[in-house]
Amino acid sequence: MILTPLRLTPDHDIPGPLLTELTALYASHRAFHALSGDFPDPDDIRPEQVAAALADELAQSAAEVLLARDKGRLVGVAITLARHPDPADPDPWIGLLMVDAGLRRRGYGRRLASLVEDRFRAAGRTAVRLAVLDGNTDGLAFWTALGYAAVDHRRDLRLDRPCTVLRKPLGEPADRPPRTPRRAARVAVLDPVGAVFLFRYDNVEVGVHWAMPGGGLEADENPREGALRELREETGWTDLEPGPLLCTWEHDFTHLSVGPVRQHEHIYVARGPRREPTGPHLAAAHAADGILTWRWWTRQELAEAPEPLWPPDLARLLDAFEAPEE
């Protein structure tokens, strides 16, 4: 699963194809919308209504809409709030987490919640809160199963609906035997015409694949710091800085020194000249990481890649990232 922020067009609209996907996702939850009252007719949810609802959410400066995709398909959406309007509330909030109802009981909800928690954890937050409407018994069961505990019962600020407030401390991610949780970061370096630089790796578990420069974070590093260090170690390029966040995602593989891991990655974008890696220590660094070779990939080449890419949806992610600038 890949998590990306919602990016609007230059006119601050949701791109048409994406709005169609979001409308279908929202419409799949008729029972929830009948309970919440968020839409006038839960049996006839329209694109303009979904666009207006998301615009209201994004009007809050601390809000973010996150899109979850699996193999290119939109499977879920999450709305988060880094700061609650009540200054006495120290925690970030999950305002909405919704997975396509046709994909229930496949683990998407748990994976999406885990990715959202990891984003808050990487930002240094120590807990997260959310509210479950009275009568939403399925929602209450879902969140309590993930370790959230009730801390309050009150009416919500927007529509005065009764709800239970839940909170979860964000310590280290829970163990998921036999895999070890691992934090990592990478940088998608784009040349002046939009080609991306990738390494070709060979891994004992997943085999040959292509990925951006990057790797595991050290104990005292945040994702951006780790991405910069890894970029310099693996390419020798010291004149680039990680820019905007492209996406976060998690995947399983076997690390040479750690063993089987479930890796959570932040991927940033940087722009620079088209060139080759350089430096006296590259050969040793590449041998230690299982790097076989490297090359620059055009967007068309990414779409037709004969070998796996990390993340798998890389061509579409880069297209979506650059769309507002076109």
DSSP state of 103: G
Terminal alpha carbon distance of the chain? 27
Whole-number pLDDT of residue 326: 40
One domain, residues 232 and 263: yes
Residue 102's φ and ψ, nearest 5 degrees, are -75, -5
For position 35, which CATH number holds?
3.40.630.30
Whole-number pLDDT of residue 175: 44
Name the residue range of residue 212's domain. Answer: 180-325
For position 312, which CATH number holds?
3.90.79.10
One domain, residues 300 and 195: yes
Domain count for the chain: 2
Report long-range pairs for 224-229 (Cβ below 8 Å, ≥24 apart): 224/185, 224/266, 224/268, 226/183, 226/184, 226/185, 227/185, 227/186, 227/187, 227/266, 227/268, 228/187
Residue in the structure block whose two tokens are 């049996």? 43
| Cβ contact 133:159 at 8 Å | no
Confirm whether 103 is domain-assigned.
yes
Whole-number pLDDT of residue 325: 46
* pLDDT tens across the length of the chain (326 residues): 889 999 888 888 999 999 999 999 999 999 999 999 999 999 999 999 999 999 998 988 889 999 999 888 999 999 999 988 777 888 999 999 999 999 887 888 988 999 999 889 888 899 999 999 999 988 998 999 889 999 999 998 778 899 999 999 997 555 444 688 899 999 999 999 999 999 999 887 787 899 999 999 999 999 999 999 999 999 999 999 999 999 999 888 888 778 888 899 999 999 999 999 998 888 888 887 889 999 999 999 998 888 889 998 899 999 989 875 44
Whole-number pLDDT of residue 149: 94
Domain boundary among 121, 138, 169: 169
One domain, residues 161 and 12: yes
Domain boundary among 117, 143, 169: 169
Per DSSP, what are the bridge partners of residue 207? 203
Confirm whether 175 is domain-assigned.
no
Non-local (6+) Cβ contacts of 179 within 8 A are: 252, 260, 261, 262
Dist. CA 84–CA 190, nearest whole Å: 36
Whole-number pLDDT of residue 176: 44
For strand 245-255 and strand 2-5, is the pairing parallel, antiparallel, or unpaired? antiparallel
One domain, residues 218 and 317: yes
Whole-number pLDDT of residue 197: 98
Residue burial 201-235, b: 16+ Cβ < 10 Å; e: rest: beeeeeeebbbbbbbbbeeebebbebbbbbbbbbb
